[in-house]
Amino acid sequence: MNGRAARLVVAALVVALLAPGVGAFATHDPTNAKPGIIIGDRGQTVVGIQGFHFRGGSEKTQARLVSIDDDTVDWQYSEQTFGETWFYDVDPLANGNFLATTARNGQTIIFELDPDTRERVWTERFDIEDTHDADLLPNGDLVVANMRATTDGVPDDKVFIYNRTTDERTWEWRFRDHYPESTDGGYDEDWTHVNDVDYIGDDQFLLSPRNFDQAIVVNRSTGDIDMRLGSDGDYDTLHEQHNPDYLTNAEGTPTLLVADSENDRIVEYEREGDGWNRTWTVGTEGSLNWPRDADRLPNGNTLVTDSLNHRVIEITPTGEIVWEYYVTWGPYDAERVGATDDGNWTGGSARSPTIADLNATGSYAVSGSANDPPIPGENGPSAFLDSVGLDGPASTWDHVVPWVKPVWASGWTFLAGVVGLLLGLAWGIIELWQNRDRLRRLG
């Protein structure tokens, strides 16, 4: 093949690889919220949308709160008063307002939002990194899950209580005082990634140190860990979980409902002696993608935030979808207003039955989706890699690509575009090298 023919072949390949991306970009409808399956009236659901921003840089997709009334977006709130680039946990409060946890590079901003006026009632700012959750205690104090903290290069991740009246921290619980340095492979700047703290009564808090693959109940009075589900590296139990909820069944048995994120499933565990028995698994057969919240509703269904499928779903105990709403980008937390708040607790599953109460133990796939997301999925190549036994590259794809892929491109379109650009770049470099003498003469 002569040089001219080779150039034509390479040019055709580059065009063919880039064409799907050009077409996807040209035809993309930037809808950021739309209904999927809706069966019956479901009331108001409020969602915290993480969004995606390059750290400290420009906006890519919008972080915000979204209120959905049955099948319609009621309101959205995205004001970045202090430059907030991430929205995380949202909790309904007894007065009808919402508590929101947001962050920007190097700061955490927690505020109470009036949904009628869409104005902040009060705001607290902390010089701490990327906090995902804070709860308002019955006495008005805040309990905050403080990740990515360091003191003289040593991890100082903690949970603390802050008195808003006196501007003082009145209690702290440090992870390094209760875990060996070897946990999660040793100290680093994101040692625990503690992403959740819930007050569960009796002076106890439920914590979620994500990187330790466990949920723990900490006693404020004694400082002890009263209960522990999972252990570091025990991925069969939990793998980098989010937002566990504490329930008790009709006999008073402690039960934990957990978004088991890296295992792409929702699980429920019931206390059995000093250990735990898994009573429920939903998400088999790849039907969830990095879920980060699950709340049991009073009707026995479960509200699931399916983050990288960019949707919130209500499912029955056997996994059937009865309500589905797509919201981009990367929903983090969802609350069904009026269903998951209960006096001393805010959000979560405080008033609702366990799977054992419902006689619905077992493992189920999620079924009944409309399969109509507003943005293309990115997991096609990872599914192929999985099918040929390349689990490691498949996992890397699932963890990296969602955060860099344009929202209008599918996984295959993104891969084709990357290959096309690399091929075009290589072609250009080769052409420059082969013509270097001619270019020197022109210079």
Burial group, residue 80, by CB count within 10 angstroms (0-12, 13-18, 19+): middle
Arithmetic mean of pLDDT over the chain: 89
Question: Quick one: pLDDT at residue 340?
Answer: 65
The CATH H-level superfamily of 43-365 is TolB, C-terminal domain (2.120.10.30)
DSSP 322-361: EEEEEESS-EEEEEETTTS-BTTB-STTTT---TTTTT--
Question: Quick one: pLDDT at residue 55?
Answer: 45
Question: Quick one: pLDDT at residue 280?
Answer: 98
Neighbouring C-beta atoms of residue 273, cutoff 10 Å: 6
Residues forming beta bridges with residue 230, ordered by sequence position: 214
Structure tokens at 105: 């590079």
CA-to-CA distance for 49 and 238, rounded, in angstroms? Answer: 24
Q: Give the CA radius of gyration of the chain.
A: 24
Structure tokens at 276: 């735990």
User: Sorting pLDDT into bands at 50, 70 and 90, what band is 30?
Assistant: low
For the chain, what percent of residues have pLDDT higher than 70? 92
Average pLDDT over residues 78-103: 92
Neighbouring C-beta atoms of residue 329, cutoff 10 Å: 22
- The better pLDDT of the pair 279, 55 is held by 279
CB 245 within 8 A of CB 257: yes
User: Sorting pLDDT into bands at 50, 70 and 90, what band is 423?
Assistant: confident
Evaluate if residue 110 carries a pLDDT over 90: yes
Neighbouring C-beta atoms of residue 234, cutoff 10 Å: 13
Question: Quick one: pLDDT at residue 1?
Answer: 60
pLDDT tens for each residue of 174-208? 999 999 999 999 999 999 999 999 999 889 999 99
Structure tokens at 326: 């797509």
Q: At what angle do helices 391-400 and 380-387 cross, to 10 degrees?
A: 170
Evaluate if residue 214 carries a pLDDT over 90: yes
Question: Quick one: pLDDT at residue 395?
Answer: 75
Secondary structure of residue 121 in the 3-state scheme: strand
Domain range list for the chain: 3-27+392-442, 43-365
pTM above 0.85, yes or no: yes
